[in-house]
């Protein structure tokens, strides 16, 4: 299963996609680069809070946060904050391969703790745990109605893509292109 | 300076979105901001989360604010160095300065960061102004000008007993 490719194929033209540091941003960039993508090159754990702020700023557009289990675990406090602030346009996707793939596949603790259960107990409006392309497709279709915040936990394998390039845009280029896409000054 | 006046001063300069972690130095400023119907306040669970949330404002053409205590500066170093300073995404950080000057001022847990706060910001290359009761508006405007010119976060360090 190619999780990122499947997710990106279900993203609409106006949707905003934020991706976390490491392999996830590199794979999103290589698979489906577009002006509505924001690549967080560093700051592991920060993406979900940035996504929360952005969802509040642009309530008319869906905001996808794509991060890994390591990143979600690092900022676990942001999950209840998202649930409490409850932006209906936020779709929080955790690609859970139970490992720190970007640094060599060291195990994370998510093999023994359910991020979906954590999301439910935090109070996300809807939570799905999926493990194949069909499941991703169904979850992506369900979150089209703006009744979020949604949490989609994608249980996936460690599947490094050989020779995947780094994001070739500079940080300021990423910023400016994304800002222009939002119509900001 | 009265906290309500300070809140209105911030609002008059376009700040309508704050996220933060409360600090006693900021006194009633927290309440003034959190209860103002024209301001959106997000009660962040950590200072780095507050900065992440508030940074989104820049992308729709406004400036986001963060309320926090200087003990949380450690928590914002990573977002500052690998997000805000790198991507040049500005924000206004209103930071309560506990333990100004270090030991024996304030409680022991504030001595070391209290003594190092300004140096820490100098080291990071983050502009700051110290609010000590004099020329508050001038200092705020100077800081906001630096934030706009550099397009990076700036810190308003608020000394104890300045905001009532």
- ipTM (interface pTM): 0.96
Task: Give the pLDDT of residue B164.
Answer: 86
Which of chain A's residues have a Cβ under 8 Å away from the Cβ of B17? 53, 56-57
> What is the DSSP annotation of chain B?
--HHHHHHHHHHTT--EEEE---GGGTHHHHHHHH-TTSEEEE-SSHHHHHHHHHGGGGGT---EEEEEGGGHHHHHHHIIIIIHHHT---EEEEE-TTTTSTTSS-GGGHHHHHHHHHHHHHHT--EEEESSSSHHHHHHHHHHHHHHHTS-EEEEEPTTS--
Out of A160-164, B52-56, B89-93, least confident range? A160-164
Cβ–Cβ < 8 Å for B72, B46? yes
Task: Give the pLDDT of residue A184.
Answer: 53
C-alpha span between A100 and A140 (Å, rounded): 25
Contacts of residue B94, Cβ cutoff 8 Å, sequence gap at least 6: B10, B20, B26, B29, B65, B66, B67, B68, B155, B156, B158
Mean per-residue pLDDT over chain A, rounded: 94
Q: How far is A163 from chain B (nearest CA, A)?
A: 24
Give mean pLDDT, residues B114-143: 96
Contacts of residue A136, Cβ cutoff 8 Å, sequence gap at least 6: A1, A3, A6, A7, A10, A130, A152, A154
Task: Give the pLDDT of residue B142.
Answer: 98
Q: Which two tokens stand for residue A19?
A: 């991706």
pLDDT band at A119 (very low <50, low <70, confident <90, very high): very high
Q: Give the containing element (helix H, strand E) for A129.
A: strand A126-130
Residue A5 contacts B, CB cutoff 8 Å: no
Q: Do B83 and A40 touch (CB under 8 A)?
A: yes
Residue B76 main-chain phi, psi, to 5 deg? -100, 0
pLDDT band at A185 (very low <50, low <70, confident <90, very high): very low
Task: Give the pLDDT of residue A102.
Answer: 87
Full set of structural domains in chain B with CATH: 3-158 (3.40.50.970)
Which of chain B's residues have a Cβ under 8 Å away from the Cβ of A50? 52-53, 55-56, 83
- Alpha helices (H) in chain A, listed in sequence order: 3-9, 23-32, 47-57, 69-74, 78-85, 115-122, 133-142, 171-182
Cβ–Cβ < 8 Å for A82, A124? yes
**Domain boundaries defined on chain A:** 3-182
Q: Do B42 and A52 touch (CB under 8 A)?
A: yes
How many Cβ pairs within 8 Å bridge chains A and B? 100
- Nearest partner of B56 among A49, A69, A112, A150, judged by Cα: A49
Whether the pLDDT of residue A146 is over 90: the answer is: no
Residue B85 contacts A, CB cutoff 8 Å: no
CATH class of A3-182: alpha beta
Burial class (CB in 10 A: 0-12, 13-18, 19+), A33: middle
Out of A50-59, A98-107, B14-23, B87-96, least confident range? A98-107
- Per cent of chain A over pLDDT 70 is 98
Task: Give the pLDDT of residue A183.
Answer: 84
pLDDT band at A163 (very low <50, low <70, confident <90, very high): confident
Give mean pLDDT, residues A158-168: 87
Task: Give the pLDDT of residue B27.
Answer: 79
Burial class (CB in 10 A: 0-12, 13-18, 19+), B138: exposed
Which residue has 């990143």 as its token pair?
A71
C-alpha span between B93 and B7 (Å, rounded): 14
C-alpha span between B12 and B112 (Å, rounded): 35
pTM: predicted TM-score of the whole model, two decimal places: 0.96
C-alpha span between B114 and B108 (Å, rounded): 10
């Amino acid at each position: 299963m190619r999780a990122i490719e499947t997710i990106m194929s279900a993203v609409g033209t106006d949707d905003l996609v934020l991706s976390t540091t490491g392999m996830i941003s590199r794979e999103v960039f290589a698979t489906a680069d577009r002006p509505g993508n924001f690549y967080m090159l560093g700051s592991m754990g920060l993406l979900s809070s940035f996504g929360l702020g952005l969802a509040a700023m642009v309530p008319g557009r869906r905001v996808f946060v794509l991060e890994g289990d390591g990143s979600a675990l690092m900022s676990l406090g942001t999950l209840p904050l998202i649930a409490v602030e409850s932006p209906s346009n936020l779709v929080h996707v955790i690609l859970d391969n139970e490992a720190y793939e970007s640094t060599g596949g060291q195990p994370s603790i998510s093999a023994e703790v359910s991020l979906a259960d954590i999301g439910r107990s935090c109070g996300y409006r809807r939570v799905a745990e999926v493990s194949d392309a069909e499941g991703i497709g169904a979850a992506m279709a369900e979150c089209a109605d703006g009744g979020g915040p949604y949490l989609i936990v994608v249980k996936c394998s460690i599947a490094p893509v050989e020779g995947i390039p780094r994001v070739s845009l500079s940080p300021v280029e990423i910023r400016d292109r994304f800002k222009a896409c939002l119509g900001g000054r | 300076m009265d906290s309500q006046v300070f809140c209105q001063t911030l609002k008059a300069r376009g700040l309508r979105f704050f996220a933060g972690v409360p600090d006693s130095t900021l006194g009633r400023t927290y309440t003034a901001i959190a209860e103002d119907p024209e301001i959106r306040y997000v009660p962040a669970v950590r200072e780095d989360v507050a900065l992440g949330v508030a940074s989104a404002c820049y992308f729709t053409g406004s400036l986001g604010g963060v309320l926090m205590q200087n003990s949380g500066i450690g928590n914002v170093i990573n977002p500052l160095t690998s997000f805000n300073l790198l991507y040049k995404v500005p924000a206004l950080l209103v930071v309560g300065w506990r333990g100004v000057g270090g030991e024996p001022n304030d409680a022991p847990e504030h001595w070391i960061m209290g003594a190092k706060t300004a140096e820490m910001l100098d080291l990071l290359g983050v502009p700051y102004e110290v609010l000590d009761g004099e020329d508050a508006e001038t200092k705020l405007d100077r800081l906001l000008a630096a934030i706009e010119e550099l397009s990076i976060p700036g810190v308003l360090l608020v000394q104890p007993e300045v905001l009532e």
